[in-house]
A and B are shown apart, each in its own frame.
Chain A
Amino acid sequence: MIELKAIQKKYIKGKQVIDALNNINLRISKGQLLSITGSSGSGKSTLMNILGCIDNPSSGTYYLNGLNISEYNDKELSNLRSQEIGFVFQNFNLLDHLTAVENVMLPLNIKGVSFKSSFNKAMELIELVGLLGREHHTPLELSGGQQQRVAIARSLANNPNIILADEPTGNLDSKSSLAILDIFLKLNKMGKTIILITHEPEIAKAFDRNIVLSDGSMINEGE
Chain B
Amino acid sequence: MYKIYRLLIILKSSLDELRRNKLRTVLTSFGITIAIAGVTAIAGIMAGVEQDLTRDFQELGSETIIVKPNIYLWYQTNNLSTMSLKEQLALQSHVRGISKVASFSPFSFQGDGISGTQFSLGDKKANGTVLAISESLANVVNRYPLKGRFFKFSDSESRRRVCLVNIGLANQLDISDISQTKYLQLGNIKCRVIGIMPGSNKDILGTSADVYLPLGTAAQLNLNAISLRFAFKVLEDANAQGILKNVSNILRASQKTPRSSPNNFIIQDANEIKSLSKEVYRKIAGVLFLVVSIALIVGGIGIMNVMLASVNERTREIGLLRAIGASQEYIKVKFLVESSLLTLFGGVLGIALGYLTSIVLSSILGTSGQYIPLWSIYACISFSILIGLVCGLGPAMKAAKLPPIDALRAS
Contacts and interface: CB of A to CB of B under 8 A. Distances in A.
A142 interface: no
Nearest to B20: A97
Contact of A110 (B4, B316, B326, B405): B326
Contacts of B38: none
Interface string A103-146: 00011011111110000000000000000000000000000000
B323 A114 contact: no
List the 3 shortest-distance A-B pairs measured between CB atoms, nearest first: A82-B325, A112-B6, A112-B2
A173 interface: no
The CB with the most chain B CB atoms within 10 A, among A55, A87, A109, is that of A109
29 contacts: A54-B404, A54-B405, A55-B403, A55-B404, A55-B405, A74-B327, A74-B328, A75-B327, A78-B325, A78-B330, A82-B324, A82-B325, A83-B325, A86-B324, A89-B408, A93-B320, A95-B320, A107-B325, A109-B13, A110-B6, A110-B321, A110-B324, A110-B326, A112-B3, A112-B5, A112-B6, A113-B2, A113-B5, A114-B5
A95 B313 CA distance: 13
A79 B325 contact: yes
A86 B320 CA distance: 11
Given A78-B330, A93-B316, A106 B2 contact: no
A192 interface: no
A149 interface: no
Nearest to A117: B5
Interface in B306-345: 316-317, 320-330
A54 B325 contact: no
A155 B9 CA distance: 19
Interface of B: 1-6, 9, 13, 16, 20, 316-317, 320-330, 403-405, 408
A200 to B, nearest CB: 23
Nearest to B401: A74
A158 B320 contact: no
A52 B404 CA distance: 11
A112 B333 CA distance: 13
Nearest to B13: A109
Q: How large is the interface on A (under 10, 10 to 19, 20 to 34, 35 or more residues)?
A: 20 to 34
Nearest to A84: B325
A49 interface: yes
A81 interface: yes
A109 B320 contact: no
A52 B323 CA distance: 8
B324 A81 contact: yes
A109 B323 contact: no
Contacts of A87: 323-324
B317 A95 contact: yes
A155 B1 CA distance: 24
A44 interface: no
A93 B325 contact: no
The CB with the most chain B CB atoms within 10 A, among A52, A97, A110, A155, is that of A110
